[in-house]
């Protein structure tokens, strides 16, 4: 552990010295470029989006004059049943995929963290799905799910798991499950990698001591691994949840604009780019921002509680 | 150290996988794609610019920007050749920029340029459903090209005429046709392809029942059933050919009628029976792959599939004809294709108009048809022997089919939204909802958009 020496806070309050003031000023000056970048790439676009959400801005400007419409977009959004379906679809997708990815990722991480021959190769191979670009992977899976040619149907029928070929992507009953399968296949390695990094910093001697004291493997997992892995788990879950909430690519490749399987991001893109309603689409964007923000707040609060 | 080794290995594997997957992706896209599969690189040169000397004297040295076809297949090559010829003959410099291959992206690119009153592009290629949306930004070409426009297919000229102004000139066209297997037709004792939907279903049933004994994956009919623009095109053909109108007629929404409901329900009833259940996720290539592998008796598709199928197992075993019709209607084909238009914000409008005049001329249309299998929009060109030889679907019996246009003219800037209401609704029908439960809501959405 090589921690950079940070000046410890003075034990009691006293007037700041001139040096400290100068240091503070220098600090702000050094921060300026970073603040400018953040302002330019994050705050400005966000502000502009929020502004647009209160107007009737259209993509093809000039046909109707753009004017301030107050909360009209938000009122419409509140009654927008398609968007409500999209929120629901996205949340279902998030819960299913993050849940599966976490459990499977944990199992894989534990396996590749143990000692066995070919461990290095195993760790490398497990990353293969994650290394394939999502759109390419989605296209590949779309073929695998095909009702006429798909390898999944072919294998299923040959092994007598299926009575007949099914149109996994087309049938409303299996559509969401099929898209979840792709995401789980693709992202589990990423989850495993993050958890593996967390596992590797747990000191070995803890397990040795536990073994000496007669703790079983299962007890070691619950009492040592899981508590010490908590920070890594939280980071992983936050990453994956936020990622899943803004999912676009797999759904876009699989379903295009099918109304029953739209995610929030797909609906937003279709509203702004497809229909040209920049104002209303911005309101959708702000709503997505708030929904994702809500999840962040939940996680961060949870994290703070567990830290204390 | 352990971490670093892991990262290095991960990086290497990642790089290798990326390379492999990109190869897979490249292999995926190397299938005969979209519109640009020449039967053979016919040895034909771009035609001379007529009246070049006069144009050169007036506009020599001016420079215009042209947003042309995507860099897919021979389409961009075709543009390069034509532009080079035009530059050489007239001295007008043409800066050729290919548009994005996705129609959505191409639309928003132009929308941004027009919306910000940009002086570039001067000339743009626009989809047959866009004139309504872009009309306020386009030059009225009637004074310059009104006379020449008389030689084109008139329904497309009507489509490109907005509020009495001719805002675009048809460049090359597309229309829906029926592909069928000639060998199976004969095998099951039929002498000609079906002319009505009911006969098509009856024939498809008999042939499918027979073929499925040896090939479980064989189906009667495939088409573009995914929830996207292609489904709007297919549905328009079904409804119009059954006498159910063109969704919007003379400014009135007509989609909610019993004839439309009957034909849409007939299509719904065949999903999972005569058409594969997965048809509701097929696009052009999705349908064509099934047909090309010998797994379908009938297919609705655009003419590009004719040349694209020449390198597949069904080569020599299929032919094309007009789409069937309902009891009350007649055969139709949905108009697809591209137009050329001049921007209102162009600084060199006369030169740009001369470029459009050349690019849409009969001689260039002939060149396009032979060089790149583009469907001519001038009937006289479609009759030329050399053109018909490379594009057999241009025989009069097929090429003269009544054309129907999607309602871009009425929906104007709301076209995408209106089309989405149509294809999402029809998709719902194909996925199992009776048409009478869906058509009223499509109609009310369309009504709210044309107000």
pLDDT tens figures, A247-274: 999 998 888 778 788 999 999 988 888 7
Average pLDDT over chain B reads 86
> Cβ separation of B227 and A257 shorter than 8 Å?
yes
pLDDT of residue A166: 85
Mutate to test the interface with B, among A62, A165, A170 (most CBs of B within 10 A): A170
Q: What is the ipTM of this complex?
A: 0.73
pLDDT higher than threshold 50 for residue B23: no
pLDDT of residue B155: 83
pLDDT of residue B75: 81
> Cβ separation of A167 and B293 shorter than 8 Å?
no
Tally the residues of chain A.
308
- On chain B, the residues whose CB falls within 8 A of the CB of A255 are 227, 281
Does residue A126 fall inside a structural domain?
yes
Tally the residues of chain B.
451
Mutate to test the interface with A, among B6, B282, B344 (most CBs of A within 10 A): B6
Does residue A231 fall inside a structural domain?
yes
pLDDT tens readout for residues A173-219? 899 999 999 999 999 999 999 999 999 999 989 999 999 998 888 99
In angstroms, the CA A198 to CA A232 distance is 5
pLDDT band at B308 (very low <50, low <70, confident <90, very high): confident
Mutate to test the interface with A, among B17, B218, B225, B422 (most CBs of A within 10 A): B17
Residue of A nearest to B415 (CA): A275
In angstroms, the CA B418 to CA A200 distance is 56
Does residue A282 fall inside a structural domain?
no
| Average pLDDT of the segment spanning B245-255 | 94
- On chain B, the residues whose CB falls within 8 A of the CB of A128 are 13, 17
pLDDT of residue A183: 95
Residue from the list A127, A167, A270 with its beta carbon closest to the beta carbon of B13? A127
Does residue A268 fall inside a structural domain?
yes
Q: What is the CATH number of the domain that holds A155?
A: 1.10.3720.10
pLDDT higher than threshold 70 for residue B19: no
> Cβ separation of A124 and B428 shorter than 8 Å?
no
| Average pLDDT of the segment spanning B32-45 | 49
pLDDT of residue B36: 38
Residue from the list B6, B136, B226 with its beta carbon closest to the beta carbon of A256? B226
Residue from the list A63, A125, A170 with its beta carbon closest to the beta carbon of B281? A170
> Cβ separation of A273 and B104 shorter than 8 Å?
yes
Residue of B nearest to A199 (CA): B3
Mutate to test the interface with B, among A256, A261, A270, A272 (most CBs of B within 10 A): A256
- On chain A, the residues whose CB falls within 8 A of the CB of B5 are 120
Does residue A101 fall inside a structural domain?
yes
In angstroms, the CA B53 to CA B39 distance is 35
| Domains assigned to chain B | 52-167+336-400 (3.40.190.10), 177-331+407-450 (3.40.190.10)
pLDDT band at B304 (very low <50, low <70, confident <90, very high): confident
Residue of A nearest to B293 (CA): A149
> Cβ separation of A60 and B114 shorter than 8 Å?
yes
> Cβ separation of A120 and B5 shorter than 8 Å?
yes
CA torsion through residues B303, B304, B305, B306, sign: positive
pLDDT of residue B101: 67
What's the gap in Å between the CA of B294 and the closest CA on chain A?
A: 12
- On chain B, the residues whose CB falls within 8 A of the CB of A133 are 18, 21-22, 25
- Hey, which bits of B24-176 come out as E strands? 63-68, 93-98, 123-127, 161-162, 165-166, 169-175
pLDDT of residue B2: 45
Residue with tokens 């000046």, as numbered in its chain? A7
Residue from the list B10, B28, B228 with its beta carbon closest to the beta carbon of A256? B228
pLDDT tens readout for residues B123-159? 999 999 898 889 999 999 999 998 889 999 888 898 8
The percent of chain A in helix, strand and coil, each rounded to the nearest 5, is: 70, 0, 25
In angstroms, the CA B212 to CA B209 distance is 5
pLDDT tens readout for residues B424-442? 999 999 999 999 999 999 9
Answer whether the bond into residue A182 is a cis peptide, omega within 30°: no
> Cβ separation of A257 and B420 shorter than 8 Å?
yes
Residue from the list B10, B22, B228 with its beta carbon closest to the beta carbon of A127? B10
Mutate to test the interface with A, among B222, B277, B282, B287 (most CBs of A within 10 A): B277
Find the domain containing A122 and state its range: 87-274
Q: How many CB pairs under 8 A join A and B?
A: 129
In angstroms, the CA A296 to CA B5 distance is 33
> Cβ separation of A136 and B22 shorter than 8 Å?
yes
CA-closest candidate to residue B234, choices B193, B263, B201, B207:
B263
- On chain A, the residues whose CB falls within 8 A of the CB of B10 are 123-124, 127, 193
Q: How many domains does the structure of chain A reveal?
A: 1
Task: Return the H-helix or E-strand segment holding B350.
Answer: helix B349-359
> Cβ separation of A170 and B5 shorter than 8 Å?
no
Does residue A106 fall inside a structural domain?
yes
Residue of B nearest to A63 (CA): B136
| Average pLDDT of the segment spanning A60-70 | 74
pLDDT higher than threshold 50 for residue B301: yes
| DSSP, residue by residue, A170-234 | TSHHHHHHHHHHHHHHHHHHHHHHHHHHHHHTS-HHHHHHHHHTT--HHHHIIIIIHHHHHHHHH
């Amino acid at each position: 552990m090589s921690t950079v020496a940070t000046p410890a806070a003075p034990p009691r309050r006293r007037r700041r010295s001139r040096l400290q003031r100068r240091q503070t000023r220098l600090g702000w000056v050094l921060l300026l470029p970073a603040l400018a970048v953040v302002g330019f790439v994050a705050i400005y676009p966000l502000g502009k989006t929020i502004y647009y959400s209160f107007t009737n801005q259209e993509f093809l400007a000039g046909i109707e004059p753009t004017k301030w419409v107050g909360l009209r977009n938000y009122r419409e959004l509140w009654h927008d049943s398609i968007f409500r379906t999209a929120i629901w679809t996205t949340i279902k997708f998030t819960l299913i995929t993050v849940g599966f990815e976490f459990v499977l990722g944990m199992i894989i991480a534990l396996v590749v963290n143990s000692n066995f021959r070919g461990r290095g190769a195993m760790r490398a191979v497990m990353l293969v799905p994650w290394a394939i670009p999502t759109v390419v992977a989605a296209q590949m899976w779309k073929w695998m799910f095909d009702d006429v040619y798909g390898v999944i149907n072919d294998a299923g029928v040959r092994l007598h798991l299926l009575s007949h070929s099914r149109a996994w992507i087309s049938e409303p009953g299996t559509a969401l499950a099929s898209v979840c399968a792709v995401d789980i296949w693709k992202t589990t390695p990423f989850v495993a990698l993050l958890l593996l990094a967390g596992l590797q910093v747990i000191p070995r001697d803890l397990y040795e001591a536990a073994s000496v004291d007669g703790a079983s493997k299962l007890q070691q997992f619950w009492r040592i691994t899981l508590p010490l892995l908590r920070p890594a788990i939280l980071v992983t879950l936050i990453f994956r949840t936020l990622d899943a909430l803004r999912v676009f690519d797999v759904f876009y490749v699989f379903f295009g604009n099918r109304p029953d399987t739209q995610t929030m991001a797909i609906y937003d893109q279709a509203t702004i780019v497809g229909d040209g309603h920049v104002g209303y689409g911005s309101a959708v964007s702000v709503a997505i921002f708030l929904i994702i923000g809500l999840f962040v707040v939940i996680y961060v609060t949870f994290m703070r509680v567990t830290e204390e | 150290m352990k971490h670093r080794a892991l990262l290095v290995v991960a990086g290497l594997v990642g790089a290798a996988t990326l390379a492999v997957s990109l190869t897979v992706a490249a292999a995926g896209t190397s299938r005969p794609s979209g519109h640009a599969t020449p039967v053979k690189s016919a040895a034909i040169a771009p035609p001379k610019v007529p009246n070049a000397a006069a144009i050169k004297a007036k506009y020599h040295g001016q420079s215009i920007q042209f947003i042309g076809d995507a860099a897919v297949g021979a389409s961009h090559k075709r543009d390069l050749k034509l532009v080079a010829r035009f530059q050489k003959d007239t001295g007008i410099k043409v800066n050729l920029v290919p548009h994005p291959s996705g129609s959505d992206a191409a639309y928003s690119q132009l929308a941004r340029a027009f919306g910000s009153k940009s002086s570039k592009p001067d000339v743009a290629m626009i989809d047959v459903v866009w004139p309504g949306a872009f009309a306020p930004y386009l030059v009225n070409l009637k004074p310059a090209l009104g006379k020449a426009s008389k030689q084109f297919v008139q329904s497309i000229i009507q489509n490109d005429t907005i509020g009495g102004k001719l805002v675009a000139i048809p460049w090359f066209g597309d229309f829906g046709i029926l592909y069928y297997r000639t060998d199976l037709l004969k095998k099951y004792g039929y002498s000609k392809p079906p002319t009505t939907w009911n006969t098509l279903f009856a024939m498809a049933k008999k042939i499918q029942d027979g073929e499925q004994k040896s090939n479980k994956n064989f189906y009667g009919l495939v088409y573009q059933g995914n929830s996207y623009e292609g489904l709007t095109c297919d549905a328009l053909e079904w409804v119009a050919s059954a006498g159910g109108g063109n969704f919007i007629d003379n400014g009135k929404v007509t989609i909610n009628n019993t004839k439309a409901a009957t034909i849409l329900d007939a299509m719904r009833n065949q999903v999972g029976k005569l058409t594969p259940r997965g048809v509701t996720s097929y696009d052009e290539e999705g349908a064509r792959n099934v047909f090309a592998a010998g797994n379908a008796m009938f297919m609705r598709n655009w003419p590009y599939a004719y040349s694209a199928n020449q390198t597949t197992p069904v080569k020599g075993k299929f032919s094309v004809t007009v789409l069937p019709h309902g009891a009350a209607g007649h055969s139709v084909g949905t108009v697809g294709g591209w137009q050329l238009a001049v921007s209102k914000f162009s600084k060199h409008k006369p030169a740009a108009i001369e470029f459009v005049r050349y690019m849409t001329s009969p001689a260039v249309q002939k060149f396009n048809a032979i060089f790149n299998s583009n469907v001519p929009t001038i009937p006289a060109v479609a009759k030329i022997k050399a053109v018909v030889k490379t594009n057999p679907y241009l025989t009069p019996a097929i090429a003269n089919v009544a054309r129907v246009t999607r309602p871009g003219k009425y929906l104007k800037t709301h076209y995408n939204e209106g089309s989405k209401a149509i294809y999402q609704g029809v998709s719902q029908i194909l996925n199992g909802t009776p048409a009478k439960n869906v058509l009223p809501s499509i109609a009310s959405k369309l009504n709210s958009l044309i107000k």
